[in-house]
Amino acid sequence: MIADIIMPKMGESITEGTILEWRKKIGDTIEKDETLLEIGTDKVDSEIPSTHSGQIVEILAEINDVVEVGVTIARIDVTGLSGHEEKIEAEKMNVEVPESDKNKKPERSDDLTESIKTKTEEIQVHMPINSRGETKGKRFYTPVVMKIAAEKDISLIEIESISGTGRGGRVTKKDLLNYIEIRGSEMFDAGQFSTLKIVGLADDRVEMDYMRTVIAEHMRRSLDTSAHVYVTAEAEVTPIVNYVIKRSRSFHASEGFRLTYTPFIFHAVIRALAQTPDMNASLDETTVVHHKHINLGMAVAVENGLMVPVIANCEELNFLGLCRKVFSLAKKTREKKITPDELQGSTFTITNFGVFNVTTGFPIINQPNVGILGVGTIKKRAVVLEGPGGDSIGIRSMLNLSLGFDHRLIDGAGGSKFIDLIHRNLEEIDLSNLL
């Protein structure tokens, strides 16, 4: 009995996904809930578990294929299950299992057995790929590459001499076809193919991975959409720094994670947004949409890219609740456990490049927001202190802020007033009853 594996629905607005990596190949056995493949959407990459136990007999989508939700992408033979297990699988697929077959292992047809045998032999040179797309041991070759190699009488040794441009150095169909084209020319020298390839291309050419492609498209669209303008400010945050140092140990003991400066910045931004409706808005052509709730997007650096999980309804959270939400969402994002729905609906975005020891930056607006705040690292500096007795020089912890806003809706005065609100909220924060 054959079970279909379909492209799953990853979120309310997700209608398709891109095949990023198959963790299993034709002929492999797989257990239910074991990872079968990794797919990417315009929101998040996800590992997809198998819905059945059995042996993979067909893979219907190649890496980088874009597949609509509900379309069959693989088939699994579940006839190797026990009678009880097979009955359960059949009920899931609304398939009747004859009484005579429920207590015995059904026989495969000769055609199916031969097909699996052929596929298995065809890809015996494959080695598993780890989560970073790197091969373990020998190099990985897809069935289509092996098929073309067999048709063109290309040995495995020749294939191994090809410099692959796929993930982890994998030889792709395009790499092999390029090799075949050069192979037929008079100048071809098998022992020098890799050198010839480098000379022919001049530079090493590697396709961007799916996440980087999505980020590139999103950023380019934002620059094409919004009229970006920037203003900067600096805030003295010495009291916040001292507060974090003082409360760090007790906070970690009670909450299980570190107290950082990020929630203080979020707290200041939320209060500023509550007073500035236009900054917590979006544009629908010529219509201004003022959002009822404050949903803060926070940029989180992940391997090979950037993701922006969203803290919804921030105005309803107290400071401790904000601390917990910032930590949990960042943790889920880095562990690849974030859901597509948790990456949608932001009304304003904050990006903290200060964690990389950067003092100032000018981030691109995260569409459809009209504003984004860049947060630099906190540095101790000598500053002029004004007092009743005159000016003096003191050492203070200073934080640089940069605000990018859409000039189609926000004028320079509006942007300047908003960043000044954030600046004052940080410097005048009441720390006595915060936690």
Among the candidates 122, 139, 172, a domain finishes at 122
- pLDDT level of residue 373 (50, 70, 90 thresholds): very high
pLDDT of residue 324: 97
Q: In terms of domains, do 289 and 354 share one?
A: yes
CATH of the domain at 407: 3.30.559.10
For 376, the token pair is 């630099």
Q: In terms of domains, do 139 and 276 share one?
A: no
Looking at the domain assignment, is residue 432 inside a domain? no
Looking at the domain assignment, is residue 65 inside a domain? yes
Count of beta carbons in the 10 Å neighbourhood of residue 89: 22
Looking at the domain assignment, is residue 292 inside a domain? yes
Q: Is the pLDDT of residue 192 over 50?
A: no
pLDDT of residue 276: 97
The answer to whether residue 28 is catalytic is no
Residue 253 makes CB contacts below 8 A (sequence gap 6+) with: none
Active site residue: 28, 411, 420, 423, which one? 411
Q: In terms of domains, do 400 and 353 share one?
A: yes
pLDDT of residue 366: 96
Q: Return the residue matching tokens 């300047």.
A: 416
Q: Is the pLDDT of residue 36 over 60?
A: yes
The predicted-structure confidence for 67-126, as pLDDT tens digits, reads as follows 888 899 999 988 765 444 545 544 544 444 444 444 444 444 344 344 434 433 333 333
pLDDT of residue 81: 53
Beta bridge partners of 67: 17
The number of distinct structural domains making up the chain is 3
Count of beta carbons in the 10 Å neighbourhood of residue 217: 11
CATH of the domain at 47: 2.40.50.100
For residue 40, the enclosing domain spans 2-122
Average the pLDDT over each of 142-156, 207-221, 341-355 and give the range with the smallest value: 142-156
pLDDT of residue 122: 36
Active site residue: 101, 228, 407, 420, which one? 407
Q: In terms of domains, do 87 and 17 share one?
A: yes
Looking at the domain assignment, is residue 334 inside a domain? yes
Q: In terms of domains, do 197 and 299 share one?
A: no
pLDDT of residue 140: 56
202: left (phi over 0), alpha (psi -120 to 50) or beta: left
Q: In terms of domains, do 140 and 106 share one?
A: no
Q: In terms of domains, do 325 and 415 share one?
A: yes
Average the pLDDT over each of 35-49, 209-223, 240-254, 329-343 and give the range with the smallest value: 35-49
The answer to whether residue 391 is catalytic is no
Q: In terms of domains, do 74 and 202 share one?
A: no
Q: In terms of domains, do 297 and 423 share one?
A: yes
Looking at the domain assignment, is residue 268 inside a domain? yes
Residue 233 makes CB contacts below 8 A (sequence gap 6+) with: 400, 401, 403, 419, 420, 422, 423
Q: Which of 57-71, 123-137, 278-292 has the highest mean pLDDT?
A: 278-292
By CB neighbour count within 10 A (0-12 exposed, 13-18 middle, 19+ buried), where does 255 fall?
middle
Q: In terms of domains, do 187 and 301 share one?
A: no
Average the pLDDT over each of 78-82, 233-237, 320-324, 380-384 and give the range with the smallest value: 78-82
Q: Is the pLDDT of residue 201 over 80?
A: no
Q: In terms of domains, do 141 and 116 share one?
A: no
| Average pLDDT value for the chain | 82
pLDDT of residue 399: 97
The predicted-structure confidence for 305-342, as pLDDT tens digits, reads as follows 889 999 999 999 999 999 999 999 999 999 888 988 89
Among the candidates 87, 122, 157, a domain finishes at 122
Q: In terms of domains, do 417 and 299 share one?
A: yes
Give the residue among 6, 23, 142, 21 at the shortest CA–CA distance from 67.
6
Among the candidates 149, 179, 207, a domain finishes at 207
